[in-house]
């Protein structure tokens, strides 16, 4: 795992945007794996600016998002589909039909998950996967456990994640307790992975990711088996 330590959040956003943009320049038909959460918002803003300035073209780009709450309707302003439209898709020249987010209202969630993995495969696999990291080490919604799922699946959220994500909801009872999420193998199949960690709340887990052993209790540590992972963090997350 390569580590890029940046001065602050803005610099992390810029570095991450430059890496994603370079993939898009090198392969105008690239398949992007995208993440939600507050961390990648700055990166999305820069990518949108680069698109507006004519530096990068998303017209033939496909995207697959990591996860979605369950149950959750796409037009709910807390859905990850809504988040992606608001923070990126509405501001770039991507064909919305080429953007994929798991259906949080799928009647048969198992089928939805299996179909999602198949669609990613049929698209040729993910060229670059963007990840954030939960304070407990979760990636997408793969929560620390004695067992991790390989493929896209339905999962229960841990108390730590429900607490952390409650800041986006009116009250904690509104946070869904389940989600559909890409699994660890689905993520590891991406040809390149960048993981972003910023702010003091990510300091402990960033240290654990860099120095700790591979363990299902820290799902992000699974990334250590991948040959092309770049951790981009700010000084607050990196610590001393």
Contact residues toward ligand GLP (CB under 6 A) are: 35-39, 66-67, 132-134, 140-141, 161, 165
> What angle separates helix 41-52 from helix 9-26, to the nearest 10 degrees?
50
183-210 burial, b for 16+ CB within 10 Å, e for fewer? bbebbbbbbbbbbbbbbeebbebbebbb
Catalytic residue selected from 127, 143, 208, 234: 143
Closest contact distance (angstroms) between CB of 102 and ligand GLP is: 11
Catalytic residue selected from 51, 65, 98, 136: 136
Catalytic residue selected from 23, 87, 138, 218: 138
Whose Cβ is closer to ligand GLP: residue 38's or residue 59's? Answer: 38
Catalytic residue selected from 23, 67, 68, 234: 67
Q: Round the CA-based radius of gyration of the chain to a whole number and report it.
A: 17
Q: How many CB atoms lie within 10 A of CB 105?
A: 14
- Find the helix or strand (DSSP H, E) in which 23 lies: helix 9-26
136 is an active site residue: yes
Phi, psi of 14 (to 5 degrees): -65, -45
Whose Cβ is closer to ligand GLP: residue 109's or residue 132's? Answer: 132
Whose Cβ is closer to ligand GLP: residue 30's or residue 35's? Answer: 35
226 is an active site residue: no
Closest contact distance (angstroms) between CB of 97 and ligand GLP is: 23
Phi, psi of 118 (to 5 degrees): -65, -40
E strands within 90-146?
99-100, 128-131
Closest contact distance (angstroms) between CB of 7 and ligand GLP is: 19
Whose Cβ is closer to ligand GLP: residue 52's or residue 169's? Answer: 169
Closest contact distance (angstroms) between CB of 113 and ligand GLP is: 15
**Residues annotated catalytic, as ranges:** 67, 136, 138, 143
């Amino acid at each position: 795992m390569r580590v890029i330590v940046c001065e602050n959040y803005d610099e992390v956003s810029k570095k991450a945007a430059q890496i994603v943009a370079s993939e898009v320049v090198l392969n105008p038909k690239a398949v992007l794996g995208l993440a939600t959460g507050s961390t990648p918002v700055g990166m999305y803003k820069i990518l949108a600016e680069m698109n507006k300035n004519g530096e990068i073209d998303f017209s033939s780009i496909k995207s697959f998002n990591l996860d979605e709450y369950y149950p959750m309707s796409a037009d709910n302003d807390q859905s990850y589909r809504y988040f992606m439209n608001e923070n990126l898709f509405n501001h770039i020249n991507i064909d919305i039909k080429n953007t994929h987010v798991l259906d949080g209202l799928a009647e048969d969630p198992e089928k939805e998950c299996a179909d999602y993995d198949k669609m990613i495969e049929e698209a040729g696999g993910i060229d670059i996967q963007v990840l954030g990291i939960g304070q407990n080490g979760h990636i997408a919604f793969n929560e620390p456990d004695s067992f991790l799922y390989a493929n896209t699946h339905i999962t229960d959220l841990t108390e730590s994640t429900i607490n952390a994500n409650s800041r986006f909801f009116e009250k904690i009872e509104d946070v869904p307790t389940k989600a559909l999420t890409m699994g660890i193998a689905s993520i590891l199949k991406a040809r390149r992975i960048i993981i972003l960690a910023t702010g003091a709340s990510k300091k402990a887990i960033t240290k654990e990711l860099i120095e700790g052993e591979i363990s299902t209790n820290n799902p992000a540590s699974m990334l250590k088996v991948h040959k092309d992972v770049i951790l981009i963090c700010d000084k607050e997350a990196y610590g001393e």
